[in-house]
Chains A and B, each alone.
Chain A
Amino acid sequence: MKVVTGVVGNDIHVVANRLIDLSLQARGYEVFNLGVNTHLEEFFDAAVETGAEVLMISSLNGEAEGWGREVKLLKAKYKNLDDLIMMIGGNLVVGSGNTEDIVARYKKYGFDLVCHQVDLNTGLDLLQDLLEERCKS
């Protein structure tokens, strides 16, 4: 299973990005890590180029909120990305906010899985559940 991952925007927080990479590999995924400071176009380009099934975006400084609004518009420009599983996690707002509202907002932006301030392994378990569910159907 191929996963493209990276930190969105002008965010240089690299520690979690490295740990996501390590954890995904430990679970048997083939990881294409674009690192920090990655723009949305680069994520989608990489998903097309690698034929990844999952796109996992992370954010720590909260600027994902700004980028999130553009996801649907941009994704529509690409062909063959309809089945791509879109996941986002980390700290998804600047300041603080109600988790339920945040999750609802990001689902509207086009994400299938939203992990706001969720522990890394819990998030990866959720991904596994979703993948198994898709397999069945």
Chain B
Amino acid sequence: MSLLQEEREIILSNEYVDAFDFDEVAEFVSNASKELFISHHFKKREKMLVQPRGGFPTYQQQYALYEFFVDANVDVLPLTIDSNTRLNDYGTAKKMLRLSEENDMDMLNGYPLVTHGYRTTRKMITHFNKPVSLRHGTPDARLLIETAIASGIFEIEGGPITYLLPYSKNFPLDKAFLYWKYVERVCANYSELNEPINRESFGPLTATLVPPSITIVIQLLEMLLSLEEGVKSFSVSFAQQGSMNQDIVTGAVIRKLVKHYAAEIDCADAAINLVYHQWMGAFPTNKDFAEQLINLSTVIASMVGADKIITKTREEATGIPTKEANAKTVADTQYCLRILNGLPSVVDEEEEEMLTLEVKAIMEAVFNDPADTLWRKVFNSIKNGVIDVPFSPHIINQNQMITIRDANKNIRIIERGNVPIPDRCYEFEKAQCDLSKDTTSIVNDIIHDIGIMQW
């Protein structure tokens, strides 16, 4: 028996798992409908796929949500997991699910997939026969993704960096790399049985003034960590940044560089897709304004040429959105995409060159780290600040980089910290900003720049 299989048996022999049947699951994946695989839909490239967000505690609520989504002409269904399951606290998830079922009150902020189990959940997934995307935020997702794939969920979001640095203060990063290695291998192995399982990275990170160079570097590294374990279908992603031009430049550069770096490790055969998140920062409380913002995001996603868009709702600023608000966004976004025809092609060569130079310089510094494996190189690079994510709460993050918006609302680096931004690019970035102000007014500008969409 392989080491991986031994580990799988340990992970799945858990008091919260009802007799996991490896052979039955493999047979299910082998014979599963192609419609369930988002990789199959990406291959057809017919349209930008629309995927909302959403997860409710009980089976009945989740089922009702999916009915609403299907009526609104959804392309990809989400399954968002509750916070207890994300932290591997299955005991609490179980208790809270019972309370939710008995009291008609939501005691969980998502669907406790491990508690419901794969036999139950699979009934729902195969009934709707649409691709489902697993949305979580889990550093140790081993049991969760086993349960997801066994349920018919063939897209797994996350990664060791993007699910840790924005969400956790002190979960050990080295452990996260090893737990995600397991996830990649299991996805790679199942991918041999039918269409590939798609892995997706979470590009928005902290959604707070993250410069495109940092976003792209982390997307490329999580892609490489996944492809080197044998994954054949991968989505890189980023969120609306606040400047249409910067989003278009980011899209162009990331598209070019995923091909370059995948080819470098002999993985050019893997399918790489681009996902765009509608604005992930603070939303306006005015619901009509929120819809305008959502609409603008859809237009930019089209300009960027995204393969999938992940939506927000008009109730974003007020709490967990209702299924009605969620479905409305899907219908609105589909309508907007249908009427967006004859888009102009925008190219900004200078910005593209600068961004490409920055990303390549950081990637080179990561590869030059003396560690023996890629994940250790990346680990060291985060630890010593070669990669620095603005506003990450994690203790390992250096927090030396400072960013601000220029007059066109592009995110610019005004303090690079230990990140090896080439001097020429650094001067270019700073030249776009008014740096004559004192720190107090710069801090006030940063506060304004973070909340740019609220007024």
Contacts and interface: CB of A to CB of B under 8 A. Distances in A.
Interface stretch (A18-26, A59-67, A76-84, A103-111): A18-26
B283 interface: no
A12 B393 contact: yes
Interface string B436-454: 0011100110110010000
Nearest to B415: A22
Nearest to A25: B439
A37 B169 contact: yes
A26 B440 contact: yes
B443 A26 contact: yes
Contacts of B447: 19, 120
Interface residues of A, number: 15
Pick the most buried of A21, A35, A36: most chain B CB atoms within 10 A of its CB. A35
A14 interface: yes
B440 A35 contact: no
Nearest to B402: A22
B391 interface: yes
B395 interface: yes
A23 B440 contact: yes
A12 B440 CA distance: 24
Nearest to A23: B443
B399 interface: yes
A32 to B, nearest CB: 13
B208 interface: yes
B169 A12 contact: yes
A15 interface: yes
B138 interface: no
B381 interface: no
Contacts of A37: 169-170, 393
Interface string B416-453: 00000000000000000000001110011011001000
Interface string A13-55: 0110011011101100000000111000000000000000000
Contacts of A15: 208, 391, 450
Contacts of A14: 206, 391-393
A21 B446 CA distance: 13
Pick the most buried of A12, A15, A22, A25: most chain B CB atoms within 10 A of its CB. A15
Contacts of B446: 19, 22
Contacts of B440: 23, 26, 121
Given A23-B443, A121-B440, A18 B169 contact: no
B391 A22 contact: no
A18 B450 contact: no
A18 B400 CA distance: 10
Contacts of A35: 169, 393, 395
Contacts of A23: 439-440, 443
A36 B393 CA distance: 6
A18 B447 CA distance: 11
Contacts of B392: 14
Interface in B369-417: 390-393, 395, 399, 402
Nearest to A37: B169
B415 to A, nearest CB: 10
Contacts of B402: 22
A29 to B, nearest CB: 12
A22 B443 contact: yes
Interface of B: 167, 169-170, 206, 208, 390-393, 395, 399, 402, 438-440, 443-444, 446-447, 450
Pairs A-B, 8 closest by C-beta atoms: A26-B439, A14-B393, A37-B169, A36-B393, A23-B443, A12-B393, A19-B443, A14-B391
Given A14-B392, A14-B393, A36-B393, 12 more contacts: A18-B390, A22-B443, A23-B440, A25-B439, A26-B443, A35-B393, A35-B395, A37-B170, A37-B393, A120-B443, A121-B443, A121-B444
Interface of A: 12, 14-15, 18-19, 21-23, 25-26, 35-37, 120-121
10 contacts: A14-B206, A14-B393, A18-B390, A22-B402, A22-B443, A22-B446, A25-B439, A26-B439, A26-B440, A37-B393
